[in-house]
Amino acid sequence: AASQAKSDFLSRLSHELRTPLNAIIGFSQLIQMDPQLPAERRAQLGHVLSAGEHLLSLINQILDISSIESGAQKVATQAVPLAPLLETCVAICRPLAQASAVALEVARPLPGEPDPAAVQVQADPTRLRQVLMNLLSNAVKYNRPQGSVRLAVRQDVTCGEGPNVHVDITDSGIGLAPAQLERLFEPFNRVGAERTVVEGHGLGLAHSRALARSMGGEITVTSQPGQGSCFTLHLQSAGHPTADSRPGRVN
Ligand code: ADP
């Protein structure tokens, strides 16, 4: 009940915050269109605009988390082929990985093994992409130079209840201690990263877990401080595994 009350409160609060913010952003954009505006004022207005947009994106994420948690937002899932989505996310994250000197290993079926490209999951493609992007970019952000990120897809062959497709995102980064793991999914809790140069605001994992759960999935994590972490996104498969869609390996 307390959790529901919190979600309702956050949902109302976020709506109330969005209204004045839209005026700030909208009028800043209007003033920027003025050709008479001196360059210095234009630059200052640019700061107002980008701070406003940043704040709006935070508020939208909080609103999304609370409306998913309160059950107000129903998510329509469909059968989504996993491989193309993974490829897109990896391609988007590759420049970040290269800039951080982190190797990003891409899914390739081993010779003689079933092709993971055949795995389909029950998901909303946009939301699934958001979750994967967050987990992948975190694995790069909280890594070390010359480190690695490895992506693997597993599918249970037994047909039980619940999520049976598992996407492992394993990094060789800084890792997390048990006390940090306990608070990892709390909104705005960066579990110590706020004292580092790594940018973030501590909403990504809370949002990702709410999104995963809204699709009947889950996110779990195992970690060793100083050695790295493995974040696993569990999803429901769309259809039973066949000879062509059983466990895939990522190299
Ligand atoms: P952000 O990255 O914006 O701080 P997140 O909600 O995505 O927020 O993550 C919360 C915190 O969890 C991060 O600040 C970081 O301390 C920790 N974290 C997330 N992913 C990893 C990872 N792969 N390895 C180590 N720490 C991580």
Cβ of 139 less than 6 Å from ligand 1: yes
Look up residue 187 and give its two tokens. 């909104």
Pairing of strands 228-235, 103-105: unpaired
Q: Please give the chain's pLDDT, 251 residues, in tens.
A: 887 787 778 778 877 888 899 999 999 999 999 999 999 999 999 999 999 999 998 888 888 888 888 777 778 899 999 989 998 999 999 999 999 999 999 767 666 554 666 889 999 999 999 999 999 999 999 999 999 999 988 888 776 778 999 999 999 999 999 999 999 999 999 999 999 999 999 999 999 999 999 999 999 999 999 999 999 999 999 975 444 444 444 44
Cα 109 to Cα 15, 128, 136: the distances in Å are 46, 22, 20
Cβ of 173 less than 6 Å from ligand 1: yes
Look up residue 20 and give its two tokens. 């004045």
Burial tier of 124 (Cβ tally within 10 Å: 0-12, 13-18, 19+): middle
| Residue in 146, 171, 141, 147 with CA at minimum distance from that of residue 232 | 171
Cβ of 229 less than 6 Å from ligand 1: yes
Q: Looking at ligand 1, which atom is closest to the CA of residue 194?
A: 14
Look up residue 25 and give its two tokens. 């952003």
Interval 77-117: pLDDT, tens? 999 999 899 989 999 999 999 999 999 997 676 665 546 66
Look up residue 152 and give its two tokens. 């693997």
Cβ of 193 less than 6 Å from ligand 1: yes
Pairing of strands 78-81, 218-224: unpaired
